[in-house]
Amino acid sequence: MLPLIENEVIRANTWLSYPEFIDIIAIAEMTPGPIAINLATFVGFRIAGIPGALASTLGVVLPSLIIILITAKFLQKFYKLPLVQAVFKGLRPAVIALISLAAITILRSTVTLGDLRSILIALASFILLSFTRTNPILVIIAAGAAGLIMYS
């Protein structure tokens, strides 16, 4: 969803600049819920207030909800078929590629190679989240505090 939203919000409609978009992604990542819904709600609110937030949220949720309901009905009957299992085995790597692409896109736009401070914050956050049981909320707070100290 991120590349699609980015294309519509930045390139097609120029509602936000790229740095604004990245800031909204950061906020959407920190709040509970799927990032696409949070991002759509933030962008909709930014563009048209509460009506915009409602419209953009419904615009993201309804198509997915309808597709999921239809797919769930279909899968109830055919999930065990070898053909359906083969399709899912093919979809899994594609989903990993899409998630990786979104992560790389965000990484490139937020962590610049010449900025050692952003690299240190990103690396420390990654290590804490990957190799310890540190609460993600604490990592977010610590990264914000580190940014306040390092960039002030």
- State yes or no: pLDDT of 52 exceeds 90: yes
Averaged pLDDT of the chain: 87
pLDDT of residue 90: 93
Alpha-helical (H) ranges within the chain are 2-6, 18-30, 35-78, 82-110, 116-131, 136-151
In a domain, 55, yes or no: yes
Give the mean pLDDT of 57-72: 90
CB 139 within 8 A of CB 145: no
Is the same domain home to 7 and 73? yes
Confidence (pTM): 0.55
Is the same domain home to 130 and 64? no
In a domain, 95, yes or no: no
Domain count, the chain: 2
In a domain, 92, yes or no: no
| 103 or 1, higher pLDDT | 103
In a domain, 108, yes or no: no
Is the same domain home to 9 and 59? yes
Q: Which of 4-8, 12-16, 90-94, 110-114 has the lowest mean pLDDT?
A: 110-114
In a domain, 88, yes or no: no
Q: Using 50, 70 and 90 to split pLDDT, how confident is the model at 146?
A: very high
In a domain, 121, yes or no: yes
Q: For residue 140, what are the domain limits?
A: 114-152
Polymer length of the chain: 152
In a domain, 87, yes or no: no
Give the mean pLDDT of 52-59: 94
Is the same domain home to 7 and 52? yes
